[in-house]
Amino acid sequence: MVYWLILIVLIMIGLFDLYLCLTGQKTFSQRIHRLLPKWADILVMIGLLVCTWWLFGGEKMFVPVMIGVIMGHLFWQE
């Protein structure tokens, strides 16, 4: 049940972030990236990926998340 709640919250955040992108406003990642130094940004990303592996079922969830991270960075513009 908790995993479904987390998934729903992440989907809602993603939809709101997409809305911000489509309306020409800064997205969450753009705002966070400006606040953190580069090394902290890297640590946050590694932490999120490790948590994804441990909390959400290993490689079955890690691979789609990793693909999403890569695609997000490819299309992300500052």
pLDDT digits over 15-35, tens only? Answer: 888 888 788 888 777 777 788
Question: Which tokens is 41 given?
Answer: 């940004």
- CA dist 52 and 25 (Å) reads 28
Task: Please tell me the total number of residues recorded for the chain in this structure.
Answer: 78
Give the pLDDT confidence score for residue 12 in this predicted structure. Answer: 84
pLDDT in tens, 34-66: 887 878 877 877 887 788 778 777 777 777 777
Does the pTM surpass 0.75? The reply is: no
Phi, psi dihedral angles at 32 (to 5 degrees) = -65, -40
Distances (CA, A) of 35 to 9, 30, 41: 23, 9, 9
